[in-house]
Amino acid sequence: MINPCKISDGGVEYILGTFDGEKAVYDFPKILEFFERKGRELFGGHFRIYPADHEILHKLCNYAIRDPVNCEKYGLDPNKGLLLSGPVGCGKTTLMKLLRHLVPHQRKYEVIPCRNIVFGFNHVGYKTIEDYGNNSFICFDDMGVEPAGRYYGKDCNVIGEIMLSRYELFLSNKVKTHATTNLNADEMEERYGSRVRSRMRHLFNLIAFDSETPDKRK
């Protein structure tokens, strides 16, 4: 039987809580310790978890482990994806890259910059939209600031079209989509239109950093 609270990573075993064979009870301080170590491995020795981010991380972790009490408390639906928003440099991408390691028995998502997807579209065309509108688990990183899509002189809102495809996948196969963005709701609607914005409300749980969160890269 898989113990979801036990993670073996790089030859090191982490015990993040207790498991009685039926119910897993996670210890948040132990999760933070795991993230600190994993973060240094992935991003370098300068990495640290900031106390100001603990509330955001608590929401993300309870979503990932599908804790029913805290998901209800925070208004999170574990069957939907995540839209993590916040100002430039607050750590959105970093946290999404860390989160996928928390529950290793779940299917991992790829973190892919939206600008790379648009560059692919500009090179090979509409096959790119088909490729990302499939059953893969993806976190679309930096959504909303990608360049315009253009193929043979024809403009296309590439990420908006992909979101419409992902919405259909969510309805038919419950395929999750995650994303990070610097934009607020009004800016997202201006960028992608009301139709895509409406679909995104069904696709995502919104978790937002405070707008005054400083740029950690400075």
How many residues would you count in the chain?
A: 218
Inform me whether the pLDDT recorded for 214 exceeds 90. Answer: no
3-state secondary structure 106-143: CCCCEEEEHHHHHHHHHHHCCHHHHHHCCCCCEEEEEE
List the domains of the chain with CATH numbers. 78-208 (3.40.50.300)
> What is the tens place of the pLDDT at every residue in 156-175?
999 999 999 999 999 999 99
pLDDT at position 203, please?
96
pLDDT at position 10, please?
77
Inform me whether the pLDDT recorded for 8 exceeds 90. Answer: no
The mean per-residue pLDDT over the stretch 101-125 comes to 92
184: number of Cβ within 10 Å: 13
More confident residue, 157 or 153: 157
Q: How confident is the model at residue 1 (pLDDT cuts 50, 70, 90)?
A: low
